[in-house]
Structure 1
């Protein structure tokens, strides 16, 4: 069974993607930013990362998972020198869960106000 989770964003059907997809006990959460409609939460890396992680936490829940089920995160940042701010926010959420992760610097994100984008994979324990 394939469960599609939507955020209701108008570009989901245009681009052809889901906020998250659950197949069996695996939940994949799409790359997530601090953008809510036209608003970007925070101009600094730490605040944006906190908002991204809040948004990520919602998707697994809708699919019957929790943050404790997250086994991987991938972090994309526009300025790798800000890794400590991203890492601190990530550690506040995942410090005990400790999924595998990567942090990669990218040239740009879809909106120049955005500085971090994160995706996650969760595996629901049977």
Structure 2
């Protein structure tokens, strides 16, 4: 097992890591729209979604993976009415490669974020 950490994504806000690699598969922790300095990004769902993807890409890169090697994404959102906006931005990042995905509306997310995304990806050998 290998623990992943990069200063290019926010540090964990609890007793967990940014991600773990097991048998060439990377499991990320959920990424919320914090900057690498730990500040909530300004703006609404679109800005928050873009920041989450920046964080996801940073931990994937550190793990030796990328958006193109993502097997599954799980998206947690605070308001399902904002799904079309999220889906549009999601499609910009997963234009050609489209991994399996779940999207769930939740009552509340850490730091009162509007969105959180976690991914599972193959690590490039």
Q: Which category describes the TM-score, using the shorter chain as reference length?
A: 0.7 to 0.9
Superposition deviation, residue 125 in structure 1? 5.5
Cα distance between partner residues in 2 of 1:42 and 1:92: 20
- Please name the residue that 1:41 is paired with: 41
Residue 5 of structure 1 is matched in structure 2 by 4
Q: Which has the higher strand share?
A: 1
Residue 87 of structure 1 is matched in structure 2 by: 87
1:63, CA displacement in angstroms? 1.2
Greater mean deviation of Cα atoms: 34-43 or 74-83: 34-43
TM-score (norm 2): 0.88
Aligned to 1:124: 123
Count of aligned positions: 121
Q: CA RMSD in A?
A: 1.7
- Deviation of 1:16 (Å): 2.3
- The aligned counterpart of 1:19 is 18
Which residue of the partner structure matches residue 103 of structure 2? 103
Q: CA deviation at 1:10?
A: 6.3
Runs ≥4 residues deviating over 3 A: none
Q: How far does residue 53 in structure 1 lie from its aligned partner after superposition?
A: 0.6
Instruction: Give unmatched runs, 5+ long, in structure 2.
Output: none
Structure 1 stretch displaced more, 58-67 or 75-84: 58-67
| TM-score calculated relative to the size of structure 1 | 0.87
In structure 1, the gaps of 5 or more residues are none
**CA spacing shift, 1:38–1:28, aligned 2, 3 Å:** closer
